[in-house]
Each structure stands twice: as C-alpha cells, then as structure tokens.
A and B are shown apart, each in its own frame.
Chain A
Amino acid sequence: MEAARPLPQADLADANLAFVRHLQPVPDLRPPLNGAGEERAPSIAELERWATVLRIECVRMLAVAKSGHLDSSLSAADIVSALYNRVLRHDPSNPKWHERDRFVLCKGHAAPILYAALAHHGYFPLEDLMGLRQIGAHLQGHPDMTKTPGVEVSTGSLGQGLSMCVGIALALRLDGLEDTAHVFGLLSDGDCQEGQTWEAATAAAHYGLRNITAIVDYNHLQTDGTTEEVMDIGDLRAKFEAFGWDAVEIDGHDMTAIVEALERSRTLDRPAAIVAQTRKGRGVSAMEGRFGFHGKPPTPEQADEALEELMAKLEEQTAALEAAEGASEEGRS
C-alpha cells in the first residue's frame, strides 16, 4: 500500500475564504467510540450530535476542495454516525484486524462522509480531511483502498459495491467468522438502478448469507433529476423482499430507528436490507431535498451559511447533552 503523504496546508492559509473561521476543531464531548473495546454504547443523542460533527466536516472539506458531492454525503450522515460510533466492531489502531466488521461505501461519491468518520476515529489525522481531492493527498474523490487506511474496497462505479460485500461476506464465512464479522454496505438509489446490484442481491440470498446488511440511502435525487423522473426504482423494500432478503423501511434520519434496524440486521438468518428514506442535503436548509446540488461544491457563501446553521445545531445538541449529564450527576449526588 502506498504510504499516505502529508497534506500541503496551502488552502487553509487562504484567509480570504469566508468559511475559514469555521475551520477550528469541533469541540469534543467525549472521544468517539467503537465496538471493539469495552466502552459504553453512545446514546441516541450522542450519535445525533456526532452526525452533526460529520456534516460540519463534509461542508468544510467540500468548501476547501471546491469539488465533490456534498448533498449525497449529508443524506448519509446519520447512518454513518450510527455505524461508526455504535454498530461496527472495528479497531482504528489495527485497521486490518481480520475479525472486524466491514463497511463498504457502495455509493462511493459520498466519500467525504466516510472520510470524516474515519478521521474522527483516528484512522488518519483530522487535518488530512482538508486534502480531499487534492494532488498529493491520500483522500481521493472516491474511496481508494490502496491509499486511505480504513477504506475496505475501492468504490465509485455504481452497482459494484453490493457484489463486493457478497464476496467479503463469503470470505468471512469460509474463515468461520459468519456470526462475528458482519458486512454493511451503504447503497444509493443510483446503485439500485444498476442491474449488477440485483445480481448481487440474488447471490446473497442464494448463498444464504446472514452476515450482510444492505442499507439504501434512498434520497430520491440523482444527477439529472428526481429518481421518479429519471428512472423510478419504486418500492425497494418490496424488491429486496422479493429477492429473498429480510427488508425493512425506516426514516433514515431517525437515529433510534437506524440503530434498531442496524442492530436487528445482525441477528437475522438471511441477508438484510434497510431502505432508509432520506433527504439529500439533510441538515443544510438551503440544500435539503432540493434538486441541483449533486456533484456541485458549495460556494464560499453557501458553505458559510451551511456551517452557521450546523454549528448552531451542534451547540444546541452539545448544550442539551451537557445539561442531561449535569442532571444525571445531580440525581446521583
């Protein structure tokens, strides 16, 4: 594997950018958690706060990179927060730990949300995030397993990810890890337009894989318009069910529902699909649910406005958590 090179900080020094004042580290309540250790599982409120942190990082990265898919990353933030902070068994100090759970970002264009989660778990330094899509930096436009620690497989060509998940799940089963190591794939609605996804769905059911979960970030917007206009993929829950999967549909921004669905999916005797109804650009009012932002980076003004909104949200969530903690301590004393 090619060694990750340190990132030139040139763009950060560009003080004319309106959003630069937002580039200080996000205040941490407590370090993020992972399932590998003995830590207490983070609460729903904490997971929600972490989702905001990830969203803030995405806006910053895209504003600096001036390139990438912001709205596609934002719609997945809650799911990724739940996975990395609570559901996945992983060990950032040993990214190649063979018994770990695997997360595959099938919708590779949402790379920023994956990078934000990996950086906050210490797979690489936080400052690397600002190297996104820049020459000489390791954070590629789409996830690259040969360059970035923590990226399980390279993705970016829609439709391939779920097949890769099937391959990983089979390999883990051959190694006798079917009941410990689980594979989670995060698909887009575009992934579900690709025929290959349904080849993979057929195979997962045929092989009776019970260590695979496909989560669809069904945000209903794609490059050329709404999925209903461009190519309606209809009732994905019914489709996965027809392919022999256990399938549930949830609100992809309801953290309690996300965590429940993910944890339940580990316990099933067949492949599990979670169709998460989401809104593209979630968390940034100017973008949320609106067409026209796919693959377009925010302007400095848009980034500034978005960060203003997200920082306010973060402060609110932080204050609520601190108040709750204070109350519980008072209750104990």
Chain B
Amino acid sequence: MAGKTEPTATRNAYGEALVELGKRHEDVVALDADLSVSTQSAKFGKAFPDRFFNVGAAEANMMSMACGLAATGKRPYCSTFAVFATGRAYDQVRLGIAHNELPVCIGASHGGVSLGEDGASHQMIEDIALMRALPKMSVIVPADYNQAYRATLESYEMERPVYLRFGRPATPAVYDEVPESLGTGVDVLREGKDITLIATGHMVWRALEAADALEREDGVEAEVLNVSIIKPIHSESILESLAKTGVAVTAEEHRVVGGLADAVRQVAAEQHPVPIFAVGMGDEFGVSGTGEACMEHFGLTARGIADRAREALVLKPIVSHPPLLGKEWT
C-alpha cells in the first residue's frame, strides 16, 4: 500500500487509519478528551459523528467509559496526550482495560520531549514504562507515518488492550510505503556486524543516520533494528543481532528506565549478556523549547547515538564474549 515519503507526523497516520477502521468496522468507536485536533481523532469524529465521544477534559472518565463500551461489544479507540492517557488515568486503564483484557486501543499522541514548547508538564517520558509494567497490555511505538498507519489498522485485529504511542512533529519516512504488517515488531533496517543500534519511534531515523555516520567516519558497520512492538518484545530477533555484533546501543525518546533499554537488557541479561548502552532520558524532566531543540538538549540525536556507539565499541573487546548458548535459541 502506498504511503507517504515526505516527513509526516505519526499522529496523522493514526487519525487517517482510524477513519479507515471506522469504514471497515461498525463496532469501532472513538473517544477523545478535548484534544481531538491534536491527536487527529477529530477526523473520525467528522466522518462518524454518532460513534465519536468527546468527553471533555476528563481522561479518567474516558478510560472507564471505554471499558463499559468494550464490555458491551464495541471497539473503543481512546485518544489524548500520552501524559494524560497513562499518567492521569493509570488506575482506570489498569482495572477497566488491562485487567479485563478488553479490546481497547489507547492512541496516545505527543509522546516524548519532541512536543516541545509546552514543556515538562506535557512531555511524557515514562509512559512506555507504565504501560509495559501493566499485565496484558501490548505496547507499540511506530517509527514513521507509514508504520503508524499499519500499526493502527493492525491494532484492531489484536483484539486486546493495546497502547499506541504517536508523536507530534513531522518525522522522516523510514518505510517507503505502508508495510504489509508489523511482523514480529522487530525489523532489521540495515545489516552490520560491528554493533547493533536498537531504536524505537522518533529515534529510528536518527539511528539510521547514526549508522551512516559511523560507517563514514569510523568504518564501523552498524546493524539497525526498529522495535515497533516493545511489549511483547520479540526476543529472538534481538538475540540474533546481539549474537552477531556482541554489543548494542538502544535509543528512545523516553526514560532509559522501564522503556526500550530495559526491555532489551532483560532479554540480553537472561539469554545473551553483552554490553548494552542506552540513549534516552536520564533522571530528569523535559524543558520548553522547539521540539528539535529539546531533542538536541537531551542528546536524542543521530550524533548522540553515534557517540554512545563509539563508547560501547571501546568496551566491546573487554566485556563482550561469544554467545553462551550457541544457535539453539534462535
């Protein structure tokens, strides 16, 4: 399916795919909490006004309403900013949606610091950690418009609680077209033998740029993985690459605690321990600035990833070692 090649925000894909889902399935309903233009769910509201519920600034009510709708046979898509979807309404998502394993999708936009000017109160950097910790919840962070479009369509087929994280800024295309499926949720975008760069969301195109820089400036062949499904994470794909390169850097627009870094480290620590360095938010909150300035400020850039990779490569010969288990786990 043809997609977008120019930079486009992942939230736009959500809004457009939601309309497509509405056309295909009568049981799809959408809810928003007074941010429907930002989250793009307003497109669904315009196309299907009877199936769209703007609850106003009342996120807790929205999540519990979604529970009631899903328990009565509907397929709710709840949209708001990531900070409110997960932080403000955590208990409602926890009991009403995750615990009951109801098919509710949370389309959370404006994840991370790239939302920019609104600052720390709105820059959600721990949502992946919160949603990963929830039993029964799947966590999906698409890398670009095209993958976000597919992720939204695919979430309907999953028939379970799904957390979808989208971003505010226009972001370069990683995929030439809308992919056929999310597959395992781990795509090898570039092959290499020296180091694995494992990225998610807005950091994926930056990881590809970092790989270019490493090749150009250091002669290092970096392998780049895009992890779109952070939970359940497809450990085999990660291990396969770690076994080949013996060292990795993760990159996410999120705290390094509880997010992609920890998900990858858990897989590695149990089955193939190698050094894994993390690019992400440390023990700090975001700040105001343009989205790009915020990313720069916190080192969430291609250069940030490449620099971390160089540090990792220094350590690799000291602490890395061949696979413990051989090929059997692949």
Chain A contact residues, CB within 8 Å of chain B:
98, 102, 144-146, 152-157, 159-161, 163-172, 174-175, 195-196, 199-200, 202-203, 206-207
Contacts and interface: CB of A to CB of B under 8 A. Distances in A.
A89 to B, nearest CB: 15
Given A164-B65, A167-B66, A171-B74, A154 B58 contact: no
B100 interface: yes
B79 to A, nearest CB: 16
A153 B58 contact: no
A195 B58 CA distance: 10
Highest count of chain A CB atoms <10 Å: which of B60, B65, B74: B65
A199 B96 contact: no
Contacts of B51: 174
Given A146-B100, A174-B50, A199-B60, A160 B92 contact: yes
B101 A167 contact: no
B72 interface: yes
Interface of B: 29, 50-51, 53, 55-56, 58, 60-61, 63-74, 76, 91-92, 95-96, 99-101
Contacts of A164: 64-65, 67-68, 71, 96
Which 7 A-B pairs have CB atoms at the shortest separation, nearest pair first? A167-B68, A163-B64, A171-B72, A167-B65, A199-B61, A164-B68, A168-B68
A167 B67 contact: yes
The secondary structure that dominates the A interface is: helix
Contacts of A202: 56, 58, 61
A146 B70 CA distance: 13
A256 to B, nearest CB: 31
Contacts of B55: 199, 203
6 contacts: A145-B100, A155-B95, A163-B68, A167-B65, A168-B71, A175-B72
B73 A154 contact: no
Contact of B72 (A161, A167, A207): A167
A308 B228 CA distance: 63
A168 B69 CA distance: 5
Given A170-B69, A174-B51, A157 B95 contact: yes
Contacts of A199: 55, 58, 60-61
